[in-house]
Structure 1
Amino acid sequence: MFKSKHTHCVVCKKIIQPGENTFVNLKNPKRKGITEIKAYLRLEARFYCTDCVKVSLRNK
């Protein structure tokens, strides 16, 4: 019914903990001055944990 408030890695579905380093794929905002940054990230961003990024960089 309600969306999870946890952020998950797009690749491995691991829950990303607060304060953990991540990589984010994000669109450039259409408007200037975003006030609700958390909501924008939740709606528009794709998060990757550091482990998944290391694996994908190693495979290239």
Structure 2
Amino acid sequence: MFGENPKCGKCGKEIKGDEVVLVKMRYPKRKGMTEIKTYKKNEGSFICEACFDKKI
């Protein structure tokens, strides 16, 4: 788990660095500082740009 790149929630494609993605997630309830990369990985679902552009 640690160190693995995230994958697209629709097609399973591995997300590479500097790639355009969309993240579906809930806005955090707590106020204050949050390590955003870890929060997105734990609480978000990544969607690659190709899957987002599909009209299915």
With the length of structure 2 as denominator, give the TM-score of the two structures: 0.85
1:33 aligned partner, one-letter code = G
Ranges of 4+ aligned residues in structure 1 off by more than 4 Å: none
Q: How does 1:1-60 map to 2 (within 5 A)?
A: 3=1, 5-55=4-54, 58-59=55-56
Give the structure with the larger strand fraction: 1
Q: For this pair of structures, how many residues does the alignment match? A: 55
Any conservation in 1 of the 2:15–2:48 contact (CA below 8 Å)? yes
Larger helix fraction of residues: 1
Report the AA paired with residue 13 of structure 1: G
CA distance in 2, matches of 1:54, 1:38: 24
What is the RMSD of the two structures over their aligned residues, measured on CA atoms? 1.3
Q: CA deviation at 1:26?
A: 1.1
Gaps of 5+ in 1: none
